[in-house]
């Protein structure tokens, strides 16, 4: 259910980055659905997925040792209680918690973390969006 004439925004926020101990999170991303409709978010390689109603927020803890990943929104989804189903856009093998990247059409945000300084930072910011065979959601990056 992509927007036709109005602008919709799925906000991706880099909340912080910390690498203290081997078990510390490498980064934390907070994503807010500013669309007027429900979006089912997905993230790899963390194997994540969730339903996000308008105005809701999802926080993703990126584990230490993760060098890169993807975040994208899916639309037109229907899942059963076991997390199996499908999406009209961005579907990832028919599951809520994605382990594979979504299939087009989709708009995704890719990130790469830099560990050389012991304080990871985004080498390629989340705002680096890629559109694959169609633009479904507007992604906005804020720090």
**143 part of a folded domain:** no
The residue with tokens 């899916």 is 74
**142 part of a folded domain:** no
Query: What pLDDT sits at residue 17?
Result: 39
Three-state DSSP state, 74: strand
Number of domains in the chain: 1
Ranges of the chain with pLDDT below 50: 1-9, 12-23, 118-133, 135, 141
**4 part of a folded domain:** no
> CA 11, 69, 113, 25 torsion: positive or negative?
positive
Query: Domain span at residue 49?
Result: 9-137
Query: What pLDDT sits at residue 103?
Result: 85
Query: What pLDDT sits at residue 29?
Result: 81
């Amino acid at each position: 259910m992509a927007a036709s004439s109005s602008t919709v925004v799925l906000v991706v926020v880099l909340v912080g980055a910390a690498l203290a101990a081997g078990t510390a999170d490498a980064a934390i991303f907070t994503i807010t659905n500013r669309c007027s409709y429900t979006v089912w978010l997905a993230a790899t390689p963390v194997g994540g997925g969730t339903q996000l109603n308008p105005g809701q927020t999802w926080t993703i803890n990126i584990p230490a040792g993760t060098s890169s990943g993807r975040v994208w929104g899916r639309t037109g989804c229907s899942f059963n209680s076991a997390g199996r189903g499908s999406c009209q856009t961005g579907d990832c093998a028919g599951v809520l918690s994605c382990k594979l990247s979504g299939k087009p059409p989709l708009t995704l945000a890719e990130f790469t973390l830099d560990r050389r300084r012991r304080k990871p930072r985004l080498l390629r910011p989340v705002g680096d969006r890629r559109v694959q065979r169609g633009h479904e959601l507007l992604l906005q990056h804020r720090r």
